[in-house]
Amino acid sequence: MGIIAAIKGWWNRMFFKADAKRIFDVDILLSDQMDNAIRIWNQIYAGHPSWVNKENNVKTINFAKSVSSETARLACLDLSIKVSGSARAEYLQSVVDNMFGKIREYVERGCVNGTIILKPNGDGIDCFDPQRFLPTEVDGNGNIRAGIFFDFYEQSKKHYKRLEYHRFAEDGVYLISNRCFVSDSSTSLGVETDMEKTPWKGLLSDVGVLNLEKPMFSVFKTPMANNIDLGSPLGMSIFAEALEELRDLDVAYSRNAGEIFDSERIVLADDRLMFQGSVKDADGNVIRKYLKKPRYVKNVLSESADNFYQEINPNLNTDTRIKGINNILSILAYKCGYSNGYFSFDSMTGIQTATGVEASQQRTIQFIKDVRDKLEITMDDLIYAIDKYADLYDLAPVGVYEVEYGFGDICYNYEEDKKTWWGYVTAGKVPAWMYFVKFENMSEDEAKSMQAELDAAETEKMNAGLYGEE
């Protein structure tokens, strides 16, 4: 979503909250403090923090995007989700497989917003950021149990909006209510209209579902406790506690880049140095010819021939500035859940992450484990909702299922592992073909064929040596 669309979305949200409360006569569990915090997090993530200043040449490197993306990468490293047990399980597996490529994106969006909501739609999965979802009820553990979803669509200069309310009734029936509206403006809800006249035709206005233990949506929340609104069921952005450091990093980075630009050598030279002589044009006019000046040469007027040339070579303070940037990165990483030193800045390569997460990175390891635990809960609840959706619309045979998750080892270092395995080969502990399969992307047959050729060549070499000795 572009910045204009994002701003437009927030403008819509102002009306969304008030209209949803009025239409469904329900309290909204979203404070102004949380609403404002989510808005700020998204502005920063979109690359438009408040501290960007063209006049003072302060730009952003958008480290909020980097840390959110890195968290999602580590959390989803070698992720596998296997659903088994029946024909119903095969259907659930197919839905999971179709959305699998989006899971990392969902986790990143959750890291930014603190919360995302996933909901099956029959054809796939819809992902809602808190900008398009209002919680209305929580259970005794603070888990979101009911809420209102906001969807919109523009067609033929008409703005269609849909409010979808999920909740449990007092008799235990799970109710889903859809209300559609149309207007000429994106900034007003408009008038209620027939669902069949909208892009959502085919949906029922009201649906009741029996025998549900959980809502027909799932919620991903970051592991950080909410200290903005202690009563809010929404989560915190992973960089929520590091806004000052994000600002300081942008300022420090901009100052360092500016110093490098401004430190270029300057040569002050009198015109006499550049003078090549005089020539006459076709009309007899005298034209003075000068050498073309390099961009770092500036003309000055000197009073004597001894002062007409001077070089200025500003001293760079790069080492000190880089040290300052790394100090900021260390604090920033810690506040985002990472170990000190996970992120570092190099003047040649820019901001880097640790190539391997070692034992000294226990804070990082625990943080990613916590995110993965949250992701498992989210996927369990989502697969449950998909299963119930299949019951509701008879999408697959009824059957039991079980879910198994797999994650990659974040402590894994590819280069070190490759070196270790080659040591095993040279020591004769494992056959070479196993190394080729693991690290050279060969099939087992290809690897064994290559090893056979290498063994044959080595044998021939040895035999030739023995023959030569005879």
What distance lies between CA 126 and its chain's CA centroid? 18
Mean pLDDT, residues 403-418: 83
Give dist(CA 221, CA 229) in Å, integer: 15
Q: In 178-240, which residue ranges form alpha helices assigned H by DSSP? A: none
- Helices 103-113 and 32-45 cross at an angle (nearest 10°) of 120
Mean pLDDT, residues 231-235: 95
Tell me what pLDDT residue 189 has: 86
Place of tokens 């579902």: 209
**Contact of 117 with 128, CB cutoff 8 Å:** yes
Give dist(CA 160, CA 180) in Å, integer: 7
Residue with the larger pLDDT of the pair 244 and 157: 244
Residue with the larger pLDDT of the pair 58 and 457: 58
pLDDT digit string (tens) for 448-465? 888 888 878 877 777 766
The rounded mean pLDDT for the chain is: 85
**DSSP string for residues in 404-452:** EEE---TT--HHHHHHHHHHHHHTTSS-HHHHHHHHS---HHHHHHHHH
pLDDT digit string (tens) for 435-452? 888 888 888 888 888 888
Poorest-pLDDT segment among 51-55, 98-102, 138-142, 228-232: 51-55
- Asked if pLDDT for residue 470 goes beyond 60, the answer is no
**Contact of 152 with 161, CB cutoff 8 Å:** yes
Mean pLDDT, residues 383-403: 94
Listed in sequence order, the residues at least 6 apart from 43 whose beta carbon sits closer than 8 Å to its beta carbon are 6, 49, 50
pLDDT digit string (tens) for 66-86? 999 999 999 999 999 999 999
Tell me what pLDDT residue 448 has: 87
pLDDT digit string (tens) for 279-295? 777 777 777 666 666 66
